[in-house]
Structure 1
Amino acid sequence: MSEATLHQRNDATSANGSSNGLSPAMVRRAIFASVLGNGLEWFDFLIYGYFAKIIAQVFFPGGNGFVSIMLTLATFAVGFIVRPIGGVLLGIYADRAGRRKALSLLIISMAASTLLMGLTPGYAHIGIAAPLLVVLARLLQGLSVGGQFATASAMLVEYAPPHKKMFYGSFNMSAQAFALLLSSGVGYLLTTQLTHEQLVSWGWRLPFLFGALAGPFGFYIRHRVAESPEFERLLDHKDKPPRVTIRQFFHDNGDAAICAMGVIIVGAATNYVWHSYLSVYVERQLHLPLSTALLGAFVSGLLNLFLFPLSGKLADRYGAYRLFYPIVIAWMICVYPLYYFVVTNPTPGHLFIAQLIATVFLAAMSGSHPGMLATLFPVRSRSAGVALSYNIAVTLFGGMAPLTITGLTRVTGSSLTPAFYLIFAGFVSLAMVYFTRSGREPRGTAARPATH
């Protein structure tokens, strides 16, 4: 039986609720377990971005504040540079050993790297070892989370009925919204209740220590989740998942990988610019207090808990690719006026309005991303395919965004640099999707099942 026939059989049997023998409780547990690690990943990343200025003081002291913050943002970017490597390795492991085992491994390794970040003494205590340990923590986290989004997305989509792939996948994005809600709420409380000296001394460490505590809990939950039905059927069809070589992967999935990167780029850039980089932008360019940005981020996270699933539902109903093009184009048209609105009169009220508008666009663009990516690749190489394309796109246009924009803003002196960056990301996304076979074939359909 070919993989195409197997994939069609998977869809057909998924439509029958009793075909996989899973109870509703098991499905809910799988959804919760899949999104927990993604939420932990984003919680850590967002907290690092929010407290970048303080982390610069603790680990990268120096007479030049710009140099310190650039070193901090470079360390932030380091975690992303190794993500494609970790993503491919862990994606291959997930495609060989199963989604369940991979997700259990990921939650423990992420918790360990987060704990190292929270416990590392400052530069004043251990000298150069302090920034080196921070870089090590970011490297470990980057390697582990490289496979997190991909494997969790694969798990969710493979649990989903055939006409709810985008909706089930959207819960992976809701995990990011919950992380935004939690991290901004914690950040707001810390910045408003503690003095600057307390924050620098110990306050910034609390969120990282809190994030590390989620590791054992997440491992327990994931350990009790059954393997995904589609992966189980692949195992039933073969003694073990077929070994896919790198050459064969790119031959079979190269076009799909380019399309997947295009899907992700504009959403990743928007997400990191408006959430991770926003704290630096608000303080250095707009000269507003950090608490102002955190309040807007908290409300944005709350809204996205509901907007991401709504976006997934609409993608299932009207077609994910049919919605992709007009939403991205509309965002590209609106992003410059939105930044101009804030920059010309940088008040907390203007910033809050801009954050809410950006949140709606982000949800519309990104809610269906996990489902879109997962359905581009066949079961046998799904985790590796999503991991490779997702991590390359996020590294180049997401993780590198704070460093890139800070440097460009310094060179150009323009506070509107983030707007031009997002418009450029939008053009790249549209081109990569439009000019690939994978991006053309599903136009007007809810999803394109991988058939190779």
Structure 2
Amino acid sequence: MQSALHAVMPDTDVRPMSRSQVRRAVLASVIGNGLEWFDFLIYGYFAKTISQVFFPVGNGFWSLTLTLATFAIGFVVRPLGGIVIGACADRYGRRKTLSLLILLMALSTLMMGLTPGYATLGIAAPILVLIARILQGLSVGGEFATAAAMLTEYAPPGRKMFFGSFQMTSQAVALLLSSMCAFLLTSRLSHDALLSWGWRVPFLLGALVGPIGFYIRHKIAESPEFEHLRERLGHAPRQSLRVFFRERGDAALCAMGVIIVGAATNYLWHSYMPLYVEHQLHLPLKNALFGTAVSGLIGIAGYPLAGRLADRFGAYRLFFPVTIVWVCAAYPLFAWVLAAPTPERVFAAQMMATVVLSLMSGAHPGMLTQLFPTATRSTGVALSYNVAVTLFGGLAPLTVSTLIDVTGSRLVPAWYLIFAGIVSLLLVGLTASGRRLRRQPDLWLGEGV
């Protein structure tokens, strides 16, 4: 880790950063992403409880469906947030944008934790929850892309994928903390206490991160690559969406292909799995939460390892074998769990899925930023990432839950993962950007491209 933090930039015109500056940039970049994931995961873990607090419609299925739909709405607005905030980050800088985003995320998280239930406010309660989810969706629309751009633009030569992997590591930390928090609350509190106030505790704790994150982000220096570009141009970078789609449309499709299979896997195995275990396998929620916490520990080590492997062998060369293995393993893994649903089998399946996911997703931030030049990097990553995550990640719990109810098959998650994997392979394999990066794994689109 120490050697990785030498801030030697590939272009001698770019001012070198000190080791402490790089450390602060890494921390500032990942803290907001961790808060985003903490909130999203907590919402999924307590979906059943939230449905009883805000959507007591008298029908368990529709109550839960409305809760998952509210979960999904945060993703529906993400592409809009990605376009607007990504454009701001590309024009005004990464640091200012990241500072604004952490405050907006903290506000939406606080709203979730403080909004009274339906019994107190009536219809205003679910409306306020919906507003909170929309605000969060808009903010996180630009969070991943801007933070990933900051990380990789601070990275020294040959370390882009490794530095980018810290963005995924922050998700693993959030996974560990959120699942442990949910595990402790569901294990220690009675059902009435959990329904009354217990589920709110994680949201209130998450909101406390906001002011700390703002302070850290406000103190860091601007990305050296962005500063160099702005000095070379003599003004803030500008590019219209029409020009972007014409020149970078192929790269955006490739980026979506990279993300789709990882997003589907992440949201099914980490966000939806506790709900699946409780409703479909009829096992205690705490069993799934314990496995999710261990998955977070594995990810903390697995994502940086995947980043190192990608730097050494080429991320786009590793993408295909890992994705193909996962497509082939998804059905047998779910079938094995369903053949005899036990906590032990669920735990084993979670561990296998986490190992594959770590290898698959550790290099994703670096892979996406590698596809776009500095002038449009945040816009390109935000647009492609959010479209892919919205369609195949955020909507996954609602889609899978509905399909299970319609078809009666508990193997729907496996088919969903297989479909997502095939779409990813096709998009990356058929785009010119994907083919070029397989041939030239060290290609990096700098500010002059």
Judge same fold: TM > 0.5, yes or no: yes
Partner of 1:38: 33
Instruction: Give the distance between the partners of 1:280 and 1:445, measured in 2 at CA.
Output: 42
Letter in 1 for 2:205: F
SS in 1 for 2:237: coil
Query: How far, CA to CA, are the matches of 1:357 and 1:18 in structure 2?
Result: 45
SS at match of 1:240: coil
Percent of aligned pairs with the same residue? 64
Letter in 2 for 1:168: F
Matching residue's letter, 1:391: N
Q: Is the Cα contact below 8 Å between 1:372 and 1:447 reproduced in 2?
A: no
Q: Report whether the alignment pairs 1:327 with 2:354.
A: no
Q: 1:447 to 1:124 in 2, by over 3 A?
A: farther
Q: Which runs of 4+ in 1 moved over 6 A?
A: none
CA contact (8 A) 1:320 1:447 kept: no
Partner of 2:140: 145
Partner of 2:222: 227
Letter in 2 for 1:82: V
Equivalent in the alignment of 1:126 = 121
2:8–2:17 CA contact under 8 A, matched in 1: no
- State the match for 1:446 in structure 2: 441
Give the Cα–Cα distance (whole angstroms) in 2 for the partners of residues 261 and 292 of structure 1. Answer: 33
Partner amino acid for 1:215?
A: G
SS in 1 for 2:68: helix
Who is 2:174 aligned against? 179
Partner of 2:266: 271
Structure 1 regions of 5+ residues with no counterpart? 1-11
Cα deviation, 1:68-103, whole Å, max 9, x if unaligned, reads 000000000000000000011000000011000000
Within the candidate set 348, 355, 364, 1:353 is matched to: 348
**Equivalent residue for 1:164?**
159
CA distance in 2 between partners of 1:347 and 1:16 (Å):
55
Q: Distance in 2 between matches of 1:321 and 1:422?
A: 20
Determine which of 74, 78, 83 is the counterpart of 1:83.
Answer: 78
* Corresponding residue number in structure 2 for 1:5: none
Question: 2:270 is aligned with what amino acid?
Answer: H
Residue 105 (structure 1) aligns with: 100
Separation in 1, partners of 2:365, 2:415? 26
Letter in 1 for 2:231: D
SS in 1 for 2:434: helix
Q: Which residue of 2 aligns with 1:4?
A: none
Stretches of structure 2 that go unaligned for 5 or more consecutive residues are 1-6
Q: Which residue of 1 aligns with 2:3?
A: none
1:409 counterpart = 2:404:
yes
Partner secondary structure for residue 441 of structure 1: helix
Deviations 1:114-160 (A, max 9, x none): 00000000000010000000000000000011000000000000001
For residues 78 and 187 of structure 2, the distance between their equivalents in structure 1, rounded to whole angstroms, comes to: 34
Counterpart of 1:399 in structure 2 is 394
Asked if 1:53 is matched to 2:53, the reply is no
Task: For residue 16 of structure 1, report the CA deviation from its aligned partner.
Answer: 7.5
The structure-2 alpha-carbon separation of the partners of 1:438 and 1:18, relative to structure 1 and needing over 3 Å to count, comes to closer
**For the residues of structure 2 that align with 1:240 and 1:69, how far apart are their CA atoms?**
50
1:15: how far off? 3.6
- Call closer, same or farther: CA 1:18–1:302 in 2, change over 3 Å: farther
The verdict on how the C-alpha distance between 1:140 and 1:19 changes in structure 2, with shifts beyond 3 A counting, is: closer
8 Å contact kept, 1:158–1:230:
yes
> Is contact 1:319-1:444 (8 Å) kept?
no
1:341 positional shift: 1.2
Counterpart CA distance in 1 for 2:355 and 2:12 is 33
The whole-number CA distance in structure 1 between the counterparts of 2:58 and 2:348 is: 36
* SS of equivalent to 1:286: coil
Aligned-residue offset at 1:18:
10
The one of 207, 217, 220 equivalent to 2:212 is: 217
- Aligned residue runs from structure 1 range 374-389, under 5 A: 374-389=369-384
Given the superposition, is the C-alpha separation of residues 309 and 445 from structure 1 closer, same or farther in structure 2, using an over 3 Å criterion? farther
SS across alignment from 1:419 = helix
3-state DSSP class of the match of 2:221?
coil
In structure 1, give the amino acid aligned to 2:147. Answer: A
Is the CA contact 2:88–2:97 (under 8 Å) kept in the aligned structure 1? yes
Instruction: Give the TM-score normalised by structure 2.
Output: 0.97
User: After alignment, is 188-197 or 233-242 more displaced?
Assistant: 233-242
CA deviation after TM superposition for structure 1 residue 446, in Å = 3.2
What code does the residue aligned with 1:405 have? V
Tell whether the 8 Å contact from 2:14 to 2:224 is kept in structure 1 after alignment. Answer: no
Question: 1:170–1:308: 8 Å Cα contact kept in structure 2?
Answer: yes
Matching residue of 1:306: 301
Aligned equivalent of 2:366: 371
> Could you say which residue in structure 2 is the equivalent of 1:434?
429
TM-aligned CA deviation for residue 19 of structure 1:
5.5
Does residue 135 of structure 1 match 2:130?
yes
- Give the Cα–Cα distance (whole angstroms) in 2 for the partners of residues 163 and 282 of structure 1: 42
Aligned counterparts of 1:242 and 1:397: Cα–Cα separation in 2: 32
The whole-number CA distance in structure 1 between the counterparts of 2:79 and 2:318 is 28
- Corresponding residue pairs, total: 441
Matched residues in 2 for 1:242 and 1:272: separation? 35
Residue type matched to 2:275 in 1?
Answer: V
The one-letter amino acid paired with 1:417 is V
Q: TM-score, normalised by structure 1?
A: 0.96
Partner amino acid for 1:288? Answer: L
Secondary structure of the residue aligned to 2:280 is helix
Preserved contact between residue 14 and residue 228 of structure 2 (Cα < 8 Å): no
The answer to whether the Cα contact below 8 Å between 1:317 and 1:446 also exists between their aligned partners in 2 is no
Aligned residue for 1:121, secondary structure, equals coil
Structure 1: distance between partners of 2:11 and 2:245? 33
